[in-house]
Amino acid sequence: MKMIIAIIGDHDNEAVSQALVQAGLRVTRIASTGAFLRRGNSTLLIGVEDHRLEEAIQILRQHTTPPPQEGAKRATLFVLNVEHYLQV
């Protein structure tokens, strides 16, 4: 299992979250700020099975808007191995 931590612009949050949920993936959103001019960001926590990792990354690519400035990024993704999880 993998945990994707995706930092995206607030303006992309709704489209990305809906696409992930429609694909049957679970997502948790955390409001965050940072980067140049402290613009609003959303941090998404996405738990995925190993075989669905590329699918989730593709959804993120397809539903984030291109940045207005050259050299800027659409999103920052961290992919972590999850050794164990449980729900209580």
The predicted model scores a pTM of: 0.87
8 A C-beta contact, residue 45 and residue 2: no
Q: Taking Cα atoms as reference points, which of 52, 50, 49, 58 lies closest to residue 6?
A: 58
Residue 35 is predicted with a pLDDT of 56
**b/e per residue 44-75 (b: at least 16 CB within 10 A):** bebbbeeebeeebbebbeebbeeeeeeeeebb
> Measured in whole angstroms, how far is the alpha carbon of residue 9 from the centre of its chain?
10
What is the per-residue pLDDT across 44-67, written as a single tens digit (0 to 9) for each? 999 999 999 999 999 999 999 988
DSSP single-letter state for residue 55: H
What is the per-residue pLDDT across 14-50, written as a single tens digit (0 to 9) for each? 999 999 999 999 999 998 766 555 667 899 999 999 9
